[in-house]
């Protein structure tokens, strides 16, 4: 299973914001709070499972794009 590109960007942002503190406690807490959902991406003849941010997934389901 792969990470969606939006998660990679979110992880980088979390690290930039919360990294560098003693024992990385803020970073650990921020990463622990990430809520991810598996999503089956359907492309041509290839179905692939990727992890997406749950909040983005729910927005797409409700029709509210960012």
pTM score: 0.75
Closest by CA position to 2, among listed 44, 43, 38, 42: 38
Structurally, the chain folds into a number of domains equal to 1
| Nearest to 7, CA basis, from 64, 55, 60 | 55
Q: What is the pLDDT of residues 16-34, one digit of tens each?
A: 999 888 888 999 999 999 9
Which residue range is the domain that position 33 belongs to? Answer: 2-62
Q: How would you write 40-66 as a 3-class SS string? A: EEEECCEEEEEEEEHHHHHHHHHCCCC
Which of 28, 8, 4 minimizes the C-alpha distance to 18? Answer: 28
pLDDT 10s digits, 33-60: 999 999 988 876 778 899 999 999 999 8
């Amino acid at each position: 299973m792969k990470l969606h590109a939006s998660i990679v960007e979110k992880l980088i942002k979390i690290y930039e914001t919360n990294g560098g503190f003693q024992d990385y406690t803020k970073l650990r807490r921020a990463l622990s709070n990430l809520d991810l959902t598996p999503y089956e991406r359907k492309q041509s003849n290839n179905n692939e499972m990727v992890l997406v941010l749950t909040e983005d997934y729910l927005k797409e389901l409700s029709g509210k794009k960012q």
